[in-house]
Homo-oligomer: A and B are copies of this chain.
């Protein structure tokens, strides 16, 4: 594969060796409201593809492959801004979430449950029906 070779020279380096798995967390925020929509993991390939294309890419731990968010649902995440933390081992993607919902459950954010008195309380309703969006 010939991916992002032309960016190699000027690419900002993240410290992928910081974790045993070689993966770093990417926090995904709505670029307008700052709501955290999800957290997923990136390796160097996902990082390069994200910077190159302006669409959020991750490394799927369950499928062990490059994952363009929205490749199945069409709900891609357009990158508006990328922030890097003080020790180069975590990034924030500020995105425009196409379709409105980032979570595979149909909820806007994966963080739709709040801890309250030792129980998790669901907040808000799903924006789409996962069975329809992910149907084959």
Judge whether B21 and A29 touch: CB under 8 Å: no
Interface bits A64-93 vs B (CB < 8 Å: 1, else 0): 000000000000000001111111001010
Given contacts A20-B21, A92-B111, contact A38 B85 (CB under 8 A): yes
Distance between Cα atoms of A20 and B23 in the complex (Å): 12
Judge whether A107 and B86 touch: CB under 8 Å: yes
Distance between Cα atoms of A11 and B84 in the complex (Å): 33
Interface bits A17-56 vs B (CB < 8 Å: 1, else 0): 0011100010101000111101100000000000100000
A36 touches which one: B36, B51, B113 (CB < 8 A)? B36
Contact residues in B for A82 (Cβ distance below 8 Å): 114-115
Distance between Cα atoms of A21 and B18 in the complex (Å): 12
Distance between Cα atoms of A7 and B119 in the complex (Å): 12
A interface residue numbers (CB < 8 A to B): 7, 10-12, 19-21, 25, 27, 29, 33-36, 38-39, 51, 81-87, 90, 92, 103-105, 107, 110-115, 118-120
Shortest A80–chain B CB gap in Å is 11
The 5 lowest CB-CB distance pairs between A and B, nearest first, are A10-B118, A34-B34, A83-B111, A82-B115, A85-B110
A112 touches which one: B86, B107, B112 (CB < 8 A)? B86
